[in-house]
Structure formats: structure tokens, C-alpha cells
Structure 1
Amino acid sequence: MENVKLVELNSENWYECCQLEVSEDQSDYIEPNSISIIQSKFEPTLKAYVIYCEQNMVGFLMYNSVQEELDGYWIYRIMIDKSWQGKGIGKAATKLMISEISNLPNAKKIVVGYHPENIGAHSLYASLGFVDNGDRFGREMAVIKRLN
């Protein structure tokens, strides 16, 4: 899907971003965007972006620009609004995020944690080459993508 782009979260788009919601069956697995946006203001290494498809705001993502556990850059959030799901937007946005992270210093691994029952997250990350090596953090599993 080539009409997907990432725009840094800013004073003009943050409020609309807070209005986006995942489907009800996903709400147990992800914090509301408002919480993530607040977190990004207290942890300045977190990079927050709004996802657009054509001219429509359709989602939100956030990653850490410094390495953490497992010597990797962590994806903190990715969500697509319930009315835009199932169109390949999440995968396209995640590819853009992987490309951004690949340009960070010493980028060898990207890590993402999610609840093991989150089937949508599991199939998305598996399709992009993330591998489960058995790493667990609390209730979440962590999968890793090695960069060339």
C-alpha cells in the first residue's frame, strides 16, 4: 500500500490521534493513544508518529530511538483505527518504521513485545520476519527482527 506515510506527532495532530480506537477485541492488548502520547513527553527518546493513508489519519505508532533489552530498538506501539483495519495499512506503516529504525546508530535488532493471545500482532510481525526466541517480559512475549 503506497499511500501510507508517517508524520511526526505534533501540536496540530495529537488531539485527532487521541480519538482513534482499535476494535473492541484488541482493546485489552494496547493502551489508548493518549497514554502513549503522554509517555512520549516524559521519555524523550520515544518517537511518536501518526499514520496517514492518503489524507486520512488512520493510526499511531511509537518506537524508542535508543537501544534497550536484548540489545535492540523497541517498537512500543502500533495501532490502526478500527475503521481502517484489514487493508494492509498496519503492515505498510510497520515497514516504514523498520526503515526509520534501520538508520539509527548500530541498528542490528528490532524488538517488539505483545500479549501472546494477540493474534493480529503475531501474524503481522511474523509476516515481517520477526522471530520468537522465547524471550518473555511479564505477560508479554518479545519477538526479534535482525537487520542486515
Structure 2
Amino acid sequence: MLEEVKNYKLKHKNLKLIPITTKNYWEIGWLELKKEQEEFVGDNFKSMAYAYATVMEGKYAKAFGIYDGDESIGFLLIGHNSYSFEGCPKTLMHSYDLWRIMIDKDYQNIGYGKDAVKLAIDYILTFPDGEEDIITTSYVEGNECAKHIYESFGFKPNGDNYEDEITLVLKVK
């Protein structure tokens, strides 16, 4: 079930998730992707605003900066039962969702993305907003890097896709 997650050892021992506050909002917001990746991952500022709006609607969303020690290297957004738009895949309405993950262009291809997904899953498994049976995520078709990382932890496509995003599910119970 979660063997891939349990067995994975972080490559970057000082990697941590720090909640977004007014102290790190701008720092995380200005992190950048490579130009060719911009079609795959939403803008950090827009994602943080969406998280705020989600919380203001009484739903669960948690935005984090990804840090290696004191150095900001990425952004992570997690939601729980937060989707309710027309055409929303049903699995997204009853799960924790790894909404957004991005690693700054200067820190890519050295294991931070995979380490960050491990930290995200570990956080979700504390069930901060109640228990669920699954964790979902998605990636834009063509983003082979994201697909590879998610599948390496046991996420599997379930066919519950939306527009150009492929939904993946990890069973936790």
C-alpha cells in the first residue's frame, strides 16, 4: 500500500515544509520554473491566493514553502475535499489532494521534487483535517517528470481526469 513512501529516504536531510505566512509569501511567490515548464504548473502567487480563498469558504487548504535549511527552493499546496467546480472528478471531492508542487529552476534535477512529495505525503498522513482513504494528485499531460515522481510512490491513474490533467490516486487505507 504505502511501501514506496515508507521505504524512501530523503536525499536532502535538511528539507522541510514551512507554512506560508506574510514572512515568506513574497519569497515563495517569486520562485520560478524553467520557461518550458510554465504550462505544467500554476503560478505560485495565484495558487496562494486560491488557497486563501478556499480557506475563506470554510474548506481545507495548506500552502507551504519548501526549504533546504534556510534556503527557499519550492512551493507546495495541499487541499482536502476542497473541489466543487462543475465537472470536478468525484475522487477529488473525497480525498487529500497534492494540488501544486514546484521546485525553483535553480534547484531542479537533484532530487528535491521527489523529496518534497515524500514530505507532502508524510504531512497528509497526519490527517490534519480528518481521515481519508486516498491521496490524489494530477499532472498535465506531457509532464513526464511529475508522472515519474508520483508513480514512483505508488500513485496510479484512475481515469478520473479533468481537461488536460491526468488524475492519480494513492490508497492510504
Fold match (TM-score > 0.5): yes
The C-alpha deviation readout for 1:27-60, integer Å capped at 9, x for no partner, is 0111110100111111112100000012210000
- How many Å separate the matches in 1 of 2:18 and 2:163? 31
TM-superposition CA deviations, 1:66-120 (whole Å, max 9, x none) = 3653132111100000000011111111111111111212221100111121111
On the 8 A contact 1:65/1:101 being kept in 2, the answer is no
Contact residue 51 and residue 59 of structure 1 kept, 8 A: yes
- Within-5 A mapping of 1:1-148: 1=11, 2-44=13-55, 45-66=60-81, 69-70=90-91, 71-104=94-127, 105-148=130-173
TM-score, scaled to structure 1: 0.94
State which structure, 1 or 2, has the greater radius of gyration over its C-alpha atoms. Answer: 2
Give the structure 1 partner of residue 4 of structure 2: none
| Other structure's SS at 1:25 match | helix
Aligned identity (percent) is: 30
Q: Provide the rounded CA distance (Å) in 1 between the counterparts of 2:123 and 2:65.
A: 14
Runs of 5+ consecutive residues of structure 2 not aligned to the other structure: 1-10, 84-89
State the structure with bigger RCO (CA 8 A, min sep 6), 1 or 2.
2
Runs of 4+, deviation exceeding 2 Å: 65-69
Alpha-carbon RMSD across the aligned residues, in angstroms, is 1.3
- What count of residue pairs does the alignment treat as equivalent? 148
Q: Say if 2:80 and 2:95, in contact at 8 Å, map to a contact too.
A: no
AA aligned to 2:78 is: Y
> What amino acid is aligned across from residue 120 of structure 2 in structure 1?
M
What is the TM-score when the length of structure 2 is the normalising length? 0.81
Q: What secondary structure sits across from 1:103 in the alignment?
A: coil
CA distance in 2, matches of 1:9, 1:67: 18
| Partner Cα distance (1:6, 1:32) in 2 | 19
Distance 1:124 1:24 in 2: 20
Give the AA of the match of 1:63. I
Q: Is the 8 A contact 2:74 2:102 kept in 1?
A: yes
Q: Which amino acid aligns with 1:133?
A: N
The 8 Å contact of residues 51 and 61 in structure 1, kept in 2 or not, is answered as yes
- Confirm or deny: 8 A CA contact 2:40 2:143 kept in the other structure: yes
